[in-house]
Amino acid sequence: MDSRLNFSGKIAQGLNHLHFKSISSTNDFLEDLVLKENLKNGFVISADFQTMGRGMLNNSWFSESGKNLLFSRLYLPNHLEVQFQFFLSKVVASGVRNGIQQLLPGENVKIKWPNDIYVNTKKIAGILIKNHLKNKSIQQSILGIGINVNQQHFPAELNATSIATQTGKYSSVNQVFDIISEHLDEALGRLELANYEFINKNYHDNLLGLGTWMTYLHRGHSFEAKILEVTAEGQLLLEDRYGKKTGYEVKEIALVSVQPV
Ligand code: BTN
């Protein structure tokens, strides 16, 4: 469906996925739509192209038209207290990673903290989650997901790859959506069951750099450290060469290179 007109009635009849040729941002659109319509858990907005695709830390998300998977899914938790909100990030990252791993068997598909998806040293997918809180609980969440499917040329500074680059073949973006959605259903189901131990294990088993010495940058100072864990609050817990353990927030630290030292 390409028209923005007349979908209100269709939503009332149970339509749960709207696709646009071009949109500002699927995240922004869904955030706006949820205020106006009675949307069900799992409602999806997808697009061939975004004129203002949003990335983490106020960055933009660029994607050639029609080549990649760009979608936002509404998640309405049964009950998720705010202190568990990073578990949502962990399950979404794990779900997307597991789906990409199915599409790229034999490849090294990893989660780069907090929730980027990498194949070896290159980024294949990004996730942008926006939670809406009410009385210390998550009332609703917009899960924005961008996966590079058929695009093969990226600006060098993005350090990106795609399913087509990895396999040498084009894939159906709809089929990729179906596979990722199945894995997301499964991962979000684990959150509903409060299966936190499993969620943590699945996240850490696939976390890039866990226990590996790598170079990090904090306030202009670079140092070697290894990841001990990503805490329940979402902090990256690092241990440096002197044995000092420090937890960092996303904005405070950058990985200099995904190569081990
Ligand atoms: C990142 O910076 O890694 C997160 C990128 C998230 C991009 C997706 S594309 C679909 C959805 N709509 C947006 O505007 N952003 C997300």
Q: Give the per-residue pLDDT at 257.
A: 84
Q: What ligand 1 atom has the least distance to the C-alpha of 145?
A: 8
CA pair distance 258, 208, nearest whole angstrom = 8
Q: What 3-state class would DSSP assign to 101?
A: helix
Residue 236 tokens read as 């990256």
Q: Give the per-residue pLDDT at 66.
A: 97
Q: Give the per-residue pLDDT at 5.
A: 54
CA pair distance 175, 160, nearest whole angstrom = 21
Ligand 1 pocket by C-beta < 6 Å: which residues?
Answer: 25-27, 50, 53-56, 59, 61, 70-72, 116, 126-128, 144-146
Terminal CA-to-CA distance of the chain, rounded, Å? Answer: 49
The residues pairing with 117 across neighbouring beta strands, listed in sequence order, are 111, 125
In what order do the strands lie in the sheet containing 44-50? 17-23, 44-50, 69-75, 137-147, 122-134, 116-119, 109-112
Q: Give the per-residue pLDDT at 85.
A: 93
Q: Give the per-residue pLDDT at 7.
A: 79
Q: Give the per-residue pLDDT at 38.
A: 93
Q: Give the per-residue pLDDT at 2.
A: 46
Distance 114 CA to ligand 1 centre (A): 14
Q: What 3-state class would DSSP assign to 81?
A: strand
- Averages of pLDDT over each 10 residues, the chain, 261 residues: 65 91 98 95 98 93 97 95 94 98 97 97 97 94 98 95 98 98 97 95 97 96 97 96 97 90 89
Distance 245 CA to ligand 1 centre (A): 32
